[in-house]
Structure 1
Amino acid sequence: MACQKFQILGAGSYGTVFLGRLSSSTSTDPQVFAVKSSKLESSRSLRVEGRILNQLRGCPYIVHCFGDDTSLEHEEVVYNLLLEYAPGGSLESLIKSRPGNIMEFEVSFYAYQLLKGLEEVHGWGLVHCDLKPANVLVFPCGCGVNRLKIADFGLAKPSGVNIFGNCHRGSLLYTSPESLVSGMHEAPKDIWAIGCIVVEMITGNPPDAFLNIASKKPEIPEGISNSCKDFLEMCFARNPSTRWTAAMLLNHRFVANEFNLLLGKKLEDHHQVNSPFGFEGWSSTTCLFSTRIRACSSRPSASNQPVLFHQKMKTVILGH
């Protein structure tokens, strides 16, 4: 099986995301997927993300990962995560396309889905640590609203384990007071981010409370329902020990309404991710995206590519 990367979808600190397809696919059956790639020597965060996504596989509110791959691409050893493709882009792009024009009932359903995803993440004893609209993927479902899935677990960590020291990690616009001031990165940090995302969906702009985060919390938008105001108050409790959990917020009247519960159940019952690779579970593969080596006097020919690949792998992994 051979695959191709043919379009860049985005780039971040830990990798570049491409649109990929099987080399055997046709214009009528493109079998596209997303590929998150990084040079092998700098792929630690991406490999951690792959293990986490494998652990969370099957949750309707978490992006699906088909497996990983290590390829020799343009004479570089590259690590790839094979992910489902989100045709609707990110929640960030959705908000920018409709600034301040996402209706409250729709915001409620999106908050419901994010909380369902976080409930799963936190239930596994994990903290996302970088929840923001750019890390939420959009899947149009043909019912007037969209399915959302949490993605980008490059900064995720086990709960109760301090792997960042006292340093802040994640995006400042969505950070919590205890994360910025004390370097505390636990589940309440993700809940604060949910509040920030809800504000951004309503207003079109993220809250700017991080500028004065030591002394105040984000401003609650005007013109919203009392239930939405109360929901945000629970997300923005300054003391992380009194901030509501994902499970508690799922019972809040802002999201625990008949529309959300019925549509959420429908999406869950019809959740299916079709693998373009012929396998439904996790698969670790090699050389899906390998490219031919340019033959010249100073470089090996294409026929020597497998030998060169293993030599480069040994150099990267063993350091010699």
Structure 2
Amino acid sequence: MRDSESTLHAEKSSPIYYIDNLEKEQRIMLRFRNHPRIVQTTSPSLHIDINLQRCRIYMEFASKGTLHDMISSFRGRPMPEVMVGRAALMILQGLEALHSRGYAHCDLKPANVLIFPSKCVGQPWELKLGDFGLSKEPCSDPWSLSGGTKQYMPPEAVGTNGAMMMMMGPAVDVWSLGCVVLEMFGGRPEKMGDIYAWRLPELVSPLANDFLRRCMELQPSRRATAGELLKHPFVAPERVMRRSVVPPRPDQMLRSCPPALRDNVKKGVPIMTMKMATRPGDLIGC
């Protein structure tokens, strides 16, 4: 919709019995007003239709679509690694803001990452997190019978017969980020019983491999935090935010690896261990 000044806004509506989710989404957007990685509300309150059947909220319009749209435009081919790193950096900036204040998104997936024109000269786009209807707030019950989309949920979130009884928290978002990165690299989830596993695509650099290993550690307590991942060279701003989106050469990627990882690569030691994929084509999450 457009306002009186012809500014385009996005509208999200739902049946009145989902009003709690929309109210929560509105609260979170207001809590993170003006944060560059969180979608902004354009109305201070939730709106209820006169017939009391539906409720709605308004937010800024993502004119470039979603990360899901961007991934789909590559038709199953991997996105350039620098582009993947740029997207991962922006998602992490949003997650770190949420986590540092006691929030967790709990439904991170490409369709919930919105793309906007960049306000920085030379940058083609920027990402913002949206859809906070399932998010955990600081004082809410961390246990839930419902979670986000199963393909992006960690193994600890799926119980017997696929039931979802999980501790909502930052570790869930970090695993989901790993799934999103794999999808940007052309990966696809494979259903294995009650869980989904992701196959590590071909041609993933050692640097990206190490980043994924830290995101997708099977033990939640050992999984990296968003703050820790922001320091990983895979998402280093000087590497991924430069104006040209030309993938770096393999020797450049190796030089930017942590010293221990660089030594292991030179020795031919497999990068991914501890039940993680050790080479492209292996499954992650089973």
Provide TM-score, normalisation by structure 2.
0.74
Match of 2:189 among 207, 214, 233: 207
Structure 1 residue 184: deviation in Å?
Answer: 2.2
- What is aligned with 2:35? 59
Give yes or no for the alignment of 1:118 onto 2:95: yes
Contact preservation (8 Å) 2:215, 2:224: yes
- What is aligned with 2:222? 242
The size of the alignment, in residue pairs, is 234
Q: Structure 1: how far apart are the matches of 2:169 and 2:100?
A: 13
SS in 1 for 2:49: strand
Q: Structure 1: how far apart are the matches of 2:151 and 2:122?
A: 31
Kindly provide the amino acid, as one letter, of the partner of residue 172 in structure 1: K
Pick closer, same or farther for the CA change 1:261–1:101 going to 2, 3 Å. closer
The one-character-per-residue Cα deviations of 1:139-180 (angstroms, maximum 9, x if unpaired) are: 133746420000000000135853554x24110110111111
- What is aligned with 1:108? 85
Flag the structure with larger Rg.
1
Q: Structure 1: how far apart are the matches of 2:139 and 2:49?
A: 38
Pick closer, same or farther for the CA change 1:163–1:224 going to 2, 3 Å. closer
SS in 2 for 1:227: helix
Structure 1 residue 38: deviation in Å?
Answer: 2.5
Contact preservation (8 Å) 1:177, 1:213: no
Match of 1:221 among 201, 206, 217: 201
Structure 2 matches for 1:251-270, cutoff 5 A?
A: 251-260=231-240
SS in 2 for 1:241: helix
Contact preservation (8 Å) 2:142, 2:167: no
Match of 2:117 among 130, 137, 140: 140
Contact preservation (8 Å) 2:142, 2:168: no
Structure 1 residue 183: deviation in Å?
Answer: 1.7
SS in 1 for 2:64: coil
Structure 1 residue 32: deviation in Å?
Answer: 0.8
Pick closer, same or farther for the CA change 1:84–1:226 going to 2, 3 Å. same
Kindly provide the amino acid, as one letter, of the partner of residue 26 in structure 2: G
SS in 2 for 1:139: strand
SS in 2 for 1:126: coil
Pick closer, same or farther for the CA change 1:191–1:174 going to 2, 3 Å. same
Match of 1:129 among 90, 106, 109: 106
Contact preservation (8 Å) 1:136, 1:148: yes
- What is aligned with 2:47? 70
SS in 1 for 2:128: strand
- What is aligned with 1:187? 170
Kindly provide the amino acid, as one letter, of the partner of residue 90 in structure 1: T
The one-character-per-residue Cα deviations of 1:19-40 (angstroms, maximum 9, x if unpaired) are: x112x45xxxx31111112243
Mean Cα displacement is larger for which, 167-176 or 223-232?
167-176
SS in 2 for 1:21: coil
- What is aligned with 2:272? none
- What is aligned with 1:6? none
SS in 2 for 1:37: strand
In the alignment, structure 2 segments of 5+ residues that lack a partner are 160-164, 244-286
Give yes or no for the alignment of 1:175 onto 2:153: yes
Q: Structure 2: how far apart are the matches of 1:186 and 1:119?
A: 12
Q: Structure 2: how far apart are the matches of 1:96 and 1:217?
A: 20
The one-character-per-residue Cα deviations of 1:74-123 (angstroms, maximum 9, x if unpaired) are: x3454221200000111111111123242110000000000000000101
Q: Structure 1: how far apart are the matches of 2:23 and 2:109?
A: 21
Contact preservation (8 Å) 2:40, 2:60: yes
- What is aligned with 2:55? 79
Aligned alpha-carbon RMSD (Å)? 2.3
Kindly provide the amino acid, as one letter, of the partner of residue 85 in structure 1: F
Q: Structure 2: how far apart are the matches of 1:190 and 1:112?
A: 14
Pick closer, same or farther for the CA change 1:145–1:195 going to 2, 3 Å. farther
SS in 1 for 2:218: coil
Kindly provide the amino acid, as one letter, of the partner of residue 95 in structure 2: L
- What is aligned with 1:3? none
The one-character-per-residue Cα deviations of 1:40-93 (angstroms, maximum 9, x if unpaired) are: 3431100111111111111101101122242435x3454221200000111111
SS in 1 for 2:188: coil
Structure richer in strand, relative to its length: 1
Q: Structure 2: how far apart are the matches of 1:107 and 1:98?
A: 12
